[in-house]
Amino acid sequence: MRCPNCQTINPPTAKFCLECGRRFGVCPNCGTVNVPTAKYCIECGTALLPKETDEHTQQLLPQANGHTHPLPAIMSQPPEERRVVTVMFADITGSTPLADHLDPEDMRAILSGYFNLMTEQIRKHGGTVEKYIGDAVMAVFGVPFAHEDDPDRAIRAAIDMQAALARFNEQRLAQDPEVTRLQMRIGINTGEVAATSNAQDNRGDFLITGDAVNVAARLQSVATPDTILVGERTYLSTRNVFDFRALAPLRLKGKTDPITAWVVIGQQNNTSTIAQHPRGLDGLEARLVGRTLELALMHATYARVQAEQRPHLITLLGVPGIGKSRLVREFLQSEEETSKCTTCEDRLVAPRILQGRCPPYGEGVTY
């Protein structure tokens, strides 16, 4: 069984790739996890044949008389879909002068170590390495699997990539104080693209095309060393999580109108007791409906905590989108307002609110 991610040959019964750890049996159409030996997805029926068998069946179709004939061209074309993704371009600055003064094997060793570190950080945050271009890396967040926080993941990956490069430089300087320090510039942009799986190179990659890709590449090209430059849609999706510095509109190659961009300063250190991660349409707040009993129960539980001076645990269960986060936000806001009320008879001590988050891309101890 050939891994579609790294092309390593694995045993037929392998559940994960022995080289890169990719899980086998994940349906590319609906994301359902099947047993590794399944030929078709149990949920949607999509073919899950190993790559060698799949390539063979794409060429030949068995007939009742035992003969075969090629499949029609329309059936062998790779599936294409439109989706919103976040594209990242990362590039080493000054690599050309560096290569002029280094032996080719030494330069290759440096780039190999660099690519391994960058790929590790990208995959850790759920991104996919689309291609390597010279000394640059192109990554996509949202393909093959989309997440609600792909722009967030891309920026976190970029920050970790910078930290990994700094450690890489320290290791090289420890071995030779005369080596040149590597610097990197990163461009990130979010937008709609056309994604084609199993591209013509037959490596199982995704071919991503669209204006979002071009803008990300242009942002990377104009970024200064050791900076992360993001486009407008990425900024709007993450401005409540990271601090940014706005730049003057940029004139990018191939773009008629100026492009607004922001430099990532770092993750926000929120001092507010209520996390500012709004959902829904920006600037619009719908009235909470149908949660009177739940809110009353939460307020009563908090009153018991204050009166009895012992902890209580409330667990909220519900399908995605049912309003769990909204209910918690309404409860916290209400308690803060009550504690600040100077005329309320039932005013309680202002609560101290601590919030924890379990990143979905974490491994090991994630909380």
Read off the pLDDT of residues 282-339 as tens digits, 9 standing for 90 and up: 666 778 888 999 999 999 999 898 888 899 999 999 887 788 888 998 898 888 777 6
First-to-last alpha carbon distance for the chain, in angstroms, is: 35
The pLDDT assigned to 104 comes to: 83
In the prediction, which pLDDT does 54 show?
Answer: 44
CATH assignment, 80-267: 3.30.70.1230
pLDDT at 343: 57
- DSSP 8-state class, residue 102: S
* 169 pLDDT higher than 50: yes
**Residue 218, pLDDT score:** 94
Q: Is it the case that residue 214 has pLDDT exceeding 70?
A: yes
Q: Judge whether residue 268 has pLDDT over 50.
A: yes
List 132's β-bridge partners, or say none.
137
Which of 85-89, 268-272, 313-317 shows the lowest per-residue confidence on average (mean pLDDT)?
268-272
The answer to whether 188 touches 88, Cβ cutoff 8 Å, is: yes
E-assigned strand segments in 212-274: 228-230, 242-246, 262-267
Mean pLDDT confidence for 234-244: 92
pLDDT at 253: 82
Q: Residue 245 and residue 16: Cα distance in Å, rounded? A: 42
pLDDT above 90: residue 231? yes
Average pLDDT over the chain, rounded to an integer: 79
pLDDT of residue 295: 92
One-letter amino acid at 304 equals: R
Rounded to the nearest 10°, the torsion over CA 303, 306, 308, 313 is 70
The pTM score is 0.66
Q: Please, is 112 exposed, middle or buried when counting C-beta atoms within 10 Å of its C-beta (0-12, 13-18, 19+)? A: exposed
pLDDT of residue 355: 77
d(C-alpha 367, C-alpha 89), whole Å:
30
Q: What local confidence, expressed as pLDDT, does residue 348 receive?
A: 56
Report residue 219's pLDDT band, with 50, 70 and 90 as the boundaries.
very high
Question: CA-CA distance, 212 to 168, in Å (whole number)?
Answer: 30
The residue with tokens 């591209």 is 199
> Does 131 or 48 have the greater pLDDT score?
131
Tally of residues, the chain: 367
- When mean pLDDT is compared across 18-27, 67-76, 269-278, 335-344, the lowest value belongs to 67-76
pLDDT given for residue 100 in this prediction:
76
- Burial of residue 46 (CB within 10 Å: 0-12, 13-18, 19+) is middle
Q: What are the helix and strand counts (H, E) for the chain?
A: 9, 10
**Parts of the chain belonging to CATH 3.30.70.1230:** 80-267
- Please give the single-letter amino acid code of residue 339: S
